[in-house]
A and B are shown apart, each in its own frame.
Chain A
């Protein structure tokens, strides 16, 4: 440990201030779990709160029941067997992550629409319209979420299987256990904590969603927050709803952290894959193709046909502005989050004290918290500050300042920082972990200040990690919806809000263009990170 000299102290102070700032929205909301009585809240509690809770539970349960077998079995097939298509399925199975749930939802509603593919199929088969499936129900929505979110479970299960030692698997095989036995009795129990962690991430995404639940007319906490905020105009009730939602999230955070803490099995030798042939190979291929098709291929095809039809109406100069606007916002937030992550992690590196480690941990909490909650936690205090300043200035000078923070880009960037710092954090942290402590110490012993060591040694050494961090935040911000809807300045549009508005006006075909662009950008990190991973394995 290098002692906090005068330099190190300023690092620590800036980190502490930053971490307090980014955790503020969540803390603000959490403090309102047990607020006083409020007529709108009482009304909500008496009428719709049960609905919100029941629907949220059904969604979470349905998603959990579906994503776990789908994600784990795909991961096992990819890890333990070799069959035609395995190599590209390995990364293609992650593709649904590029699709925000609301966009997949729009596409599926198009697939089921009157005169659409499913309808035609039903007519052909002579069954009722849309095969008797009611898509505007909580059960269909749960299935939809499952096929968008299973990659979270797939990814953690796959990496857990990859880390399991080949020795363990071989030892199990030598005792005469067949593949299914090996999976059931060795591989799966070892992967269980990791899978629980991945499942927790899925459920956090379910709680975060606003676009899909709104479109499918399922009332949950997020729709409730929007209703209280925009329709009833009661911020107090919105904050209370957000606070109750956070209780759900808290359980998931504990689950996820425990999952991560207990996945420390590591080994250099990975299991050898068995080659499948004939019918078995075909079955494995089909099993993996189903979630990929439902979560990515079919929706994308639907969007493409729409986009083709409406391109001439939608793609105008205004659309170009929209794209530039969205990209600039996403890039700005990505750079901001990345810089903040570097500051926090470098301070922890300089100090290596428990307090610095705790600060770094706290900085990552925001990602678990739904965007709508963060938005409420930013908007309410910012509005109060604005009114305070405005009132003060008005009483002194006679003319007010208007809104300085709320309803400006500052509020939006601040909220993105609070929510997406964790996204930038993870790759940068991993990069720093791989950098030996002796690198910093060598630089310092050669006369470099902490700042110079950071700029000339640490940052160049983790530049790939920083690039990954920027791409990941960029994509997340680009597809973000609820937070942006609440905090965006008046008349400020992003690709996501534009798609949401088209869909809200039943202009699904028009929504396809911005939606497809979001998906296309979302595919970039999947392909890029996959190539990065392969390059590492080859080395």
Chain B
């Protein structure tokens, strides 16, 4: 359990259903968000991740459950604090800069009369996002990356309890993305801000987040440190969010896992009698023919510039099991011709599995 002193947001059994669909967009979500952390909400489209953000901001009303923000209940059956009273900073996917106001006026929109007059706050915000010279410009005179920084400055200016960002990296091309991720984390850390961002891209999570909450089909599936969640996904669904995942059935055979495609050592001394093995592209390596391992046939090798990718078909010993496919990264000078038979063994310290009955 997380120390309530450290948590700034608490969701307790929050459910939200849109008028247009039967299934709830968010289904009995319970989780907390820690102070002074950058938390990522990860999920595919329709997973409910953006709805969670909007519920927290007060832009949507939950039909059940309660939300606590900075020690105050902002939403439950009886109370509902409107967005303007929640003291949150929100950065929209389209940035939502007011087109008829200058950069400086945009940043000052959320400030009281006093701090507006001396202009100090707006100046320091412009400095923070490194746009000191552009305060007099209008949003349409800025580049995409600059607009995003204005949106962040505007959200941070009234000193909110928490900064929420909706898909902050999705409108950017790949070359700019890495740069923006670094910038954004620097700005948030400099401002000592608690931040939550929504994304569908696991690379954003690893690059920018301290904590991760995985959503799928409206449910919170797992929460924790990003590397923990990656290494020990709670179920196949969570594992698949991180990319290609091959899942095969196995039985224990001593401390080896016995599958239809051969035996494999999972790197764990004690294994349950029945399990599902979770194989990611980097988990296996090609072994000498003599060793025992998973039996595979090469389908093709694809050149990807920095590396080659081998598409393999695991071949079952008996004919009742369907063959499965998996890919294996190789260095770019290695390649195998189609039809070659290979044996695969464990490449990592430990291969993840789920006990099954």
**Chain A residues close to B by CB (< 8 Å):** 1-3, 5, 7-8, 354, 436, 438-439, 441-449, 456-457, 460-461
Report whether B61 and A442 are in contact in the complex, using a CB–CB cutoff of 8 Å. Answer: no
Task: Indicate the member of B59, B84, B88, B93 with the most A CB atoms within 10 Å.
Answer: B84
Q: Of B59, B80, B110, which contacts A446 at CB under 8 A? A: B110
Q: Of B87, B89, B93, B96, which contacts A439 at CB under 8 A? A: B96
How far is A446 from B98 in the complex, measured between Cα atoms in Å? 12
Report whether B99 and A444 are in contact in the complex, using a CB–CB cutoff of 8 Å. Answer: no
How many whole Å from A318's CB to the nearest CB in chain B? 44
Residue B272 at the chain A interface, CB threshold 8 Å: no
How far is A443 from B105 in the complex, measured between Cα atoms in Å? 12
A446: chain B residues at CB < 8 Å are 84, 109-110, 154-155, 158
| Those 7 A-B pairs whose CB atoms lie nearest each other, nearest first | A446-B110, A438-B96, A442-B96, A3-B61, A445-B90, A444-B83, A438-B92
Task: Indicate the member of B88, B109, B110 with the most A CB atoms within 10 Å.
Answer: B109
B87: chain A residues at CB < 8 Å are 447
Residue B113 at the chain A interface, CB threshold 8 Å: no
B59: chain A residues at CB < 8 Å are 1-2, 441, 444-445
Residue B250 at the chain A interface, CB threshold 8 Å: no
B92: chain A residues at CB < 8 Å are 438, 441-442
A442: chain B residues at CB < 8 Å are 90, 92, 96-98, 154
Residue B94 at the chain A interface, CB threshold 8 Å: yes
Residue B46 at the chain A interface, CB threshold 8 Å: no
Report whether B80 and A448 are in contact in the complex, using a CB–CB cutoff of 8 Å. Answer: no
How many whole Å from B161's CB to the nearest CB in chain A? 12
Task: Indicate the member of A7, A444, A445, A456 with the most B CB atoms within 10 Å.
Answer: A445
How many whole Å from A4's CB to the nearest CB in chain B? 9
How many whole Å from B311's CB to the nearest CB in chain A? 38
How far is A446 from B92 in the complex, measured between Cα atoms in Å? 12
Given contacts A5-B80, A444-B84, A448-B84, contact A461 B89 (CB under 8 A): no
Residue B168 at the chain A interface, CB threshold 8 Å: no
Report whether B83 and A445 are in contact in the complex, using a CB–CB cutoff of 8 Å. Answer: yes
Q: Of A1, A438, A444, which contacts B82 at CB under 8 A? A: A444
How many whole Å from A457's CB to the nearest CB in chain B? 6
Residue B201 at the chain A interface, CB threshold 8 Å: no
Q: Of A1, A438, A447, which contacts B84 at CB under 8 A? A: A447
Tally of A-B Cβ pairs under 8 angstroms: 75
How far is A449 from B82 in the complex, measured between Cα atoms in Å? 9
B49-68 with Cβ < 8 A to chain A: 57-61
Q: How many residues belonging to B are interface residues under a CB distance threshold of 8 Å?
A: 29
B77-121 with Cβ < 8 A to chain A: 80, 82-90, 92-94, 96-100, 109-110
How many whole Å from A438's CB to the nearest CB in chain B? 4
Given contacts A442-B90, A445-B89, contact A5 B82 (CB under 8 A): yes
Having A438-B92, A442-B96, A444-B58, one finds 10 other A-B pairs with CB under 8 Å, namely A2-B83, A3-B58, A3-B61, A436-B96, A438-B94, A441-B57, A441-B92, A442-B97, A443-B109, A457-B98
How many whole Å from A173's CB to the nearest CB in chain B? 38
How many whole Å from A538's CB to the nearest CB in chain B? 16
Q: Of B58, B99, B100, B109, which contacts A448 at CB under 8 A? A: B109
A441: chain B residues at CB < 8 Å are 57, 59, 83, 90, 92, 96
A and B contact pairs by CB, cutoff 8 A, 28 listed: A2-B58, A2-B59, A2-B82, A3-B58, A3-B61, A3-B82, A5-B80, A5-B82, A354-B19, A438-B96, A441-B57, A441-B90, A441-B92, A442-B92, A442-B96, A442-B98, A444-B58, A444-B59, A444-B84, A445-B58, A445-B84, A445-B89, A445-B155, A446-B84, A446-B110, A447-B85, A447-B87, A447-B158
How many whole Å from A492's CB to the nearest CB in chain B? 40
Given contacts A5-B82, A447-B158, contact A460 B61 (CB under 8 A): no
How far is A435 from B315 in the complex, measured between Cα atoms in Å? 57
How far is A167 from B155 in the complex, measured between Cα atoms in Å? 44
How many whole Å from B53's CB to the nearest CB in chain A? 11
Given contacts A446-B154, A448-B109, contact A3 B80 (CB under 8 A): yes
How many whole Å from A207's CB to the nearest CB in chain B? 38
A460: chain B residues at CB < 8 Å are 100
How far is A447 from B98 in the complex, measured between Cα atoms in Å? 15
Report whether B100 and A436 are in contact in the complex, using a CB–CB cutoff of 8 Å. Answer: no
Task: Indicate the member of A3, A8, A446, A457 with the most B CB atoms within 10 Å.
Answer: A446
How far is A446 from B154 in the complex, measured between Cα atoms in Å? 8
How far is A444 from B81 in the complex, measured between Cα atoms in Å? 12
Task: Indicate the member of B59, B83, B89, B100 with the most A CB atoms within 10 Å.
Answer: B83
How many whole Å from A7's CB to the nearest CB in chain B? 7
How far is A241 from B172 in the complex, measured between Cα atoms in Å? 64
How many whole Å from A464's CB to the nearest CB in chain B? 11
How far is A1 from B85 in the complex, measured between Cα atoms in Å? 16
How far is A438 from B99 in the complex, measured between Cα atoms in Å? 12
How far is A444 from B84 in the complex, measured between Cα atoms in Å? 5
B60: chain A residues at CB < 8 Å are 1, 3
How many whole Å from B75's CB to the nearest CB in chain A? 9
How many whole Å from B149's CB to the nearest CB in chain A? 15
Q: Which residue of A lies closest to B97 (CB)?
A: A442
How far is A438 from B94 in the complex, measured between Cα atoms in Å? 8
How many whole Å from B106's CB to the nearest CB in chain A? 9
How many whole Å from A256's CB to the nearest CB in chain B? 27
Q: Which residue of B lies closest to A441 (CB)?
A: B59
Q: Which residue of B lies closest to A439 (CB)?
A: B96
B16-70 with Cβ < 8 A to chain A: 19, 57-61
How many whole Å from A451's CB to the nearest CB in chain B? 11
Report whether B94 and A436 are in contact in the complex, using a CB–CB cutoff of 8 Å. Answer: yes
B94: chain A residues at CB < 8 Å are 436, 438
B83: chain A residues at CB < 8 Å are 2, 441, 444-445
How far is A456 from B109 in the complex, measured between Cα atoms in Å? 9
How far is A76 from B99 in the complex, measured between Cα atoms in Å? 37
Q: Which residue of A lies closest to B109 (CB)?
A: A446
How many whole Å from B164's CB to the nearest CB in chain A? 8
Chain B 179-219, CB-CB to A under 8 Å as 1, else 0, gives: 00000000000000000000000000000000000000000
A456: chain B residues at CB < 8 Å are 109
B89: chain A residues at CB < 8 Å are 445
